Structure 1
Amino acid sequence: MTEQGLALHHIGVSFGGLTALDDVSLRVTPGRVVGVIGPNGAGKTTLFNVVCGFVPPQTGTMTLDGRPFRPRPHRLTRSGIARTLQGTGLFAGLTVLENVMTGASHTARAGLASAVLGLPRSDRDERRLRQHALDVLDTLGIAGHADAAPGTLPFAVRQRVGLARALAARPRLLLLDEPAGGLGAEDIAELSELVRELPRRAVDPCAVLLVEHHMDLVMSVCDEIVVLDFGRVVATGTPDEVRDDPAVADAYLGAAVDEATA
């Protein structure tokens, strides 16, 4: 039976003489939320960039549904993977609805010629994408902002728009890059409920790979947590197992000591 989901096998990445990732392995299977945590400089962002194809690993391999996986950033959504960006990364010149529509643009059936010439097939595509984007916005409770410019909205709403754009791609795997950054307690609680629900949705369920500093969020939504320190995996397990692991305390306490003595 083919192993489903994304798997990283002994990934290694170095930048000059600096080792960013060292023998990192993890797996994200359907129906699961997997968190990656660690102090600053642990390699979390590099790990995301490897999965997205921005950084090629020098050692190790990746598989998707048991087959070799060599991601290319511009084709990531075609592989069933979408990601959010720190700071939302929205297009200021587009409305909220148009931003979300860009997330699903890879599903457009009409070609460039049809769009340029305004042929009926292109019109049908746009209507379909528009309705899908509205449905996603409605699911996240922000359809009322569809015609607004992103820059006019509160940060928490812009965060949801960025999430909606990623979900519009109908991913099988969603990469969440510090989604709680800049949010208040109430917004984080709503985000936690949403993330927990994503793999279990009746329509377009998706597994989640989450990088986050907000530990309450991580502990409340993750089925499994991978802890990085200096580019190496120092602990893997359920939230309870990771919370009680001495290696995790050492990683975070060591970082705190370094900052205090710097």
Structure 2
Amino acid sequence: MEQGLALHHIGVRFGGLTALDDVSLRVPPGRVVGVIGPNGAGKTTLFNVICGFITPDSGSLTLDGRPLRPRPHRLTRLGIARTLQGTGLFAGLTVLENVMAGATHTARAGFLPALLGLPRSDRDEERLRREALDVLDGLGIAGHADAAPGTLPFAVRQRVALARALAARPRLLLLDEPAGGLGAEDIAELAELIRRLPRRETDPCAVLLVEHHMDLVMAVCDEIVVLDFGRVIAAGTPDDVRDDPAVTDAYLGAEVDEAAA
């Protein structure tokens, strides 16, 4: 049976605009797959299809070979977690509470015991707290557990957002431009974190990465899919994609044009 997430001939249209056209890709367990392309290539639409925010007009999704019809509020129960552009953290919660919020779907008590403050709810909260601290410690930011996110440097807030996603113990992590706003040193540290995720002894997860920073993509991805005007124009290893003339014309060439403008 085919393992992991697969998209089969996905098509999405918005009126007369074709956002995705016959897009297929796979994210097997233990792999990091990158999606790149110029602005307007369809990358965000692709993520929104996987998350259930957009229903495709054609094609299908499967998870471990079984039909997948994702819904945003059910993603974590399917083992899928997503980070957002920016950080998307809750300003009124501490770092620890933000990370605990990412794992609430694993709570056993349910809504009523939590509302009434019953012992079973207290046990759940203590477990979530321990697990959240473990995740923060694994990312090297446990010392910020009691801080408000808004008081922290942006690079640390990015790690908190990643910790919140990982607290859900996903089998597949969707990273939406995680290097945005980071400096070169922070991007290098992020690359090391991403490379480790599929190979962790505890709770390993595959990664689907949408990113503009080519150095990060080339450093962490096992396979790269290149979109242009909603179509896949290249797919393969980083070396394959780097040497593909279509990619140079559509994506790398676009960066050169922007730099010269």
TM-score, L = length of structure 2: 0.97
The code of the aligned residue for 2:242 comes to: R
Aligned-residue Cα RMSD (Å) equals 1.4
**Could you tell me how far apart the structure 2 residues matched to 1:248 and 1:58 are?**
27
Structure 1: gaps of 5 or more residues: none
* Displacement of 1:254: 5.6
Give aligned-pair identity as a percent: 87
Instruction: Indicate how the Cα distance of structure 1 residues 117 and 43 shifts in structure 2: closer, same or farther if over 3 A, else same.
Output: same
**Could you tell me how far apart the structure 2 residues matched to 1:46 and 1:127 are?**
38
Map Cα deviations across residues 162-183 of structure 1 (whole Å, 9 max, x no partner). Answer: 0000000000000000001101
State the match for 1:132 in structure 2. 131
**Could you tell me how far apart the structure 2 residues matched to 1:176 and 1:257 are?**
25
State the match for 1:103 in structure 2. 102
Aligned length in residues:
261
**Could you tell me how far apart the structure 2 residues matched to 1:261 and 1:41 are?**
20
2:224 pairs with 1:238: no
State the match for 1:150 in structure 2. 149
State the match for 1:195 in structure 2. 194
The code of the aligned residue for 1:99 comes to: N
The code of the aligned residue for 2:120 comes to: R
**Could you tell me how far apart the structure 2 residues matched to 1:258 and 1:219 are?**
21
Instruction: Indicate how the Cα distance of structure 1 residues 78 and 158 shifts in structure 2: closer, same or farther if over 3 A, else same.
Output: same
2:163 pairs with 1:164: yes
The code of the aligned residue for 2:139 comes to: L
| Secondary structure in structure 1 of the residue aligned to 2:19 | strand
**Could you tell me how far apart the structure 1 residues matched to 2:239 and 2:193 are?**
21
Map Cα deviations across residues 86-111 of structure 1 (whole Å, 9 max, x no partner). Answer: 11000000000000001000000001
The code of the aligned residue for 1:70 comes to: R
**Could you tell me how far apart the structure 1 residues matched to 2:84 and 2:23 are?**
22
How do 1:64-103 and structure 2 match up within 5 A?
Answer: 64-103=63-102
The code of the aligned residue for 2:188 comes to: A
**Could you tell me how far apart the structure 2 residues matched to 1:248 and 1:226 are?**
10
* Displacement of 1:259: 5.5
2:111 pairs with 1:112: yes
**Could you tell me how far apart the structure 2 residues matched to 1:257 and 1:244 are?**
16
**Could you tell me how far apart the structure 2 residues matched to 1:212 and 1:129 are?**
31
* Displacement of 1:248: 0.3
Map Cα deviations across residues 146-197 of structure 1 (whole Å, 9 max, x no partner). Answer: 0000000000000000000000000000000000110111111110001000
Instruction: Indicate how the Cα distance of structure 1 residues 260 and 173 shifts in structure 2: closer, same or farther if over 3 A, else same.
Output: closer
Poorly superposed stretches of 4+, deviation over 6 Å: none
Structure 2: gaps of 5 or more residues: none
* Displacement of 1:113: 1.2
Map Cα deviations across residues 202-232 of structure 1 (whole Å, 9 max, x no partner). Answer: 0000000000000000000000000000000
TM-score, L = length of structure 1: 0.97
**Could you tell me how far apart the structure 2 residues matched to 1:55 and 1:95 are?**
32
The code of the aligned residue for 1:131 comes to: R
**Could you tell me how far apart the structure 2 residues matched to 1:34 and 1:169 are?**
20
